[in-house]
Amino acid sequence: MQNIPQNAEEINRLMYHYDNVHQPVPSMDAITEAHVKQYREQGFVAVGQVLNKEQVDGSVAAIMETIFDRETKVNVQFTKPQDDLKTDEERELAVRKVFDFVDFHEELHAIAYHPDIISFVERLLGEEAKLAQNQALLKPPYGGAEKPWHQDMAYGNVAYDKAVVGVWIALDEAALDNGCMHVIPRSHMDGGVPHYSVRDWQICDTNVPVEKDTAIPLQPGGALFFHGLLYHGTPNNFSDQRRRSLQFHYVPKSAQKLTHAEYKRMFTNEMTSAEC
């Protein structure tokens, strides 16, 4: 029986494996129909370089400008009360997420609608894509928190009646020791599974086949394209390196939001009343 982790160190040790490392496609130009097939079968495709250095640097600058601007109109999620954050460093290290920024930053808007990204997403969706969500996910050094195993479509804002495509882009090196993405290949084929409020809105630890975990380190500018029902997560960052990333979700233009009843049927324990 799988052990239940009791602290952050045990979470990293028990819930993530680091020996099965995926090698990305070198660039968008190298993508073929075989990679589209891989996405259908495995639930993901990683690409080593999607953004160039200028685009990465511009994205980082826009995010940092937002964090330090106390009058920003962009949504910023802090882990501590803002009044307790006296310096820019304290402020940065307390940010978990920056979101809904595409209408306020030209640089980030351009990434969300990058022609190569949109073109590949539409190949995966099979129809015109619509941007459903935009966010930056920050995992600071010396204890940046885990994002437990989950399916993105279990979060209401991307719960649609057609499959969503997520695009996760590394802005720093996303390595094995600072919280790179981990996925369970083929898990999207299970459909929507119940999530529980444990450390986050997550799949129950004992329901994750961690022996199948595949780690996906990426260099700055690399990206992971993944199915909205793919099990994925990121471990705690105990290193001395930041791990900043962008994440966008795209839906087919014809997709409709799930009804409340259908969402409950797919992503909660309503049918079984099971506890995690």
Is the residue at 67 inside a domain?
yes
Q: In what order do the strands lie in the sheet with 243-252?
A: 25-27, 44-49, 223-227, 165-170, 243-252, 129-139, 95-99, 75-78
Phi-psi region of 142 (alpha: psi -120 to 50; beta: other; left: phi over 0): left
* Lowest-confidence region among 74-88, 118-132, 199-213: 74-88
Is the residue at 161 inside a domain?
no
Per-residue tokens: 241: 């390196």
Domain that holds residue 110: 17-150+166-184+207-226+234-254
Alpha carbon of residue 271 to chain centroid: 28
Q: What does the DSSP 8-state code read for residue 273? A: -
Is the residue at 274 inside a domain?
no
Is the residue at 271 inside a domain?
no
Region 2-10 average pLDDT: 80
**pLDDT tens-place string over residues 152-188:** 999 999 999 999 999 999 999 999 999 999 999 999 9
pTM of the entire predicted model: 0.96
| Count of domains forming the chain | 1
Question: What pLDDT score does 257 carry?
Answer: 97
Residue 119 has pLDDT above 90, yes or no: yes
Is the residue at 5 inside a domain?
no
Q: What are phi and psi of 274, to 5 degrees?
A: -70, 150
253 pLDDT band (50/70/90 cuts)? very high
Is the residue at 70 inside a domain?
yes
Question: What pLDDT score does 1 carry?
Answer: 44
Region 123-146 average pLDDT: 97
Higher pLDDT, 2 or 184: 184
CATH number at residue 240: 2.60.120.620
4 pLDDT band (50/70/90 cuts)? low
Is the residue at 56 inside a domain?
yes
How many C-beta atoms surround the C-beta of residue 23 within 10 A?
Answer: 9
Is the residue at 273 inside a domain?
no
Buried residues in 107-141 as b, exposed as e (16+ CB within 10 A) = bbbebbebeebbebbbbbbeeebeebbbbbbbbbe
Whole-number average pLDDT of the chain: 95
**pLDDT tens-place string over residues 196-215:** 999 999 999 999 999 999 99
